[in-house]
Amino acid sequence: MVDRKWFANKGQIIQIVIATIACVFSGIKAWPDMRGNELFSLGAVLFYILVGLVIFSVGRPFVHGRAGAQPALWNGGLLAQLVVTGQSLKLQLENLREAWPNDPHLLYPLSVHAMPDVIQEPKHKDLWAFRRDYRMHLAQVHLYNNTFASELARKRFPVDDMKSLDVLRMIEAHVNLLVSNLNELKTQAGITP
């Protein structure tokens, strides 16, 4: 169910109250100047700015909709990006496994010892790209939610004891969990998955 609150937190309400009080005091101070046709005096300009702030603060919920759906949609966009990068990781590893099925260096793709000191062969370039994208995805997941409950998020990097097929299964389970969280957020925002 979508949260139907006008304001996301009490800070927004306090901001409006303070802006309104400041606007009233500024109006009292600026009124004599404005009556004397000094429409651009310091007090009058301050009054105009504060009136604009009050209008902006009060009008923002009307323009952007209610506060409850916004965080869900924002998180949904982040999750959708994580789903895409997770699927890309899976595809990269599948391509590596298909291109070099019997290579001992690719048996443990996340191991410390999987990469040579000098990258010269195409398989090592592809493995380096996969490892780079894996670490980047892992960092993005931790930025999104540092307690994300997938095995991939818990394992970190490097992982010495996982064969490539196990890594592939771990990535697939991770992507499935991301998709399930994305569908849950869509439901919270009132969007049917």
Query: Does residue 78 have a pLDDT over 70?
Result: yes
Higher-pLDDT residue of 191 and 3 is: 191
How far is residue 33's CA from residue 42's CA, in Å, rounded to a whole number? 9
Residues 6 or more apart in contact with residue 53 via CB below 8 angstroms: 19, 23
How far is residue 137's CA from residue 178's CA, in Å, rounded to a whole number? 12
Write down the pLDDT at residue 2.
Answer: 43
Encode pLDDT of 138-192 as tens digits: 888 888 777 777 888 788 788 888 888 888 999 899 889 888 888 887 777 666 6
- Average pLDDT of the residues in 114-125: 84
> How many angstroms separate the Cα of 178 from the Cα of each of 70, 76, 146, 174?
19, 10, 14, 6
How far is residue 158's CA from residue 175's CA, in Å, rounded to a whole number? 19
Write down the pLDDT at residue 1.
Answer: 41
Write down the pLDDT at residue 156.
Answer: 77
Across all residues in the chain, what is the average pLDDT? 75
Q: Which of 49, 59, 58 is nearest to 22 (CA)?
A: 49
pLDDT band at 76 (very low <50, low <70, confident <90, very high): low
Query: Does residue 91 have a pLDDT over 70?
Result: yes
- Average pLDDT of the residues in 76-83: 77
pLDDT band at 67 (very low <50, low <70, confident <90, very high): very low
Write down the pLDDT at residue 144.
Answer: 78
Write down the pLDDT at residue 172.
Answer: 92
Q: Which of 156, 150, 167 is nearest to 109 (CA)?
A: 167
Higher-pLDDT residue of 112 and 69 is: 112
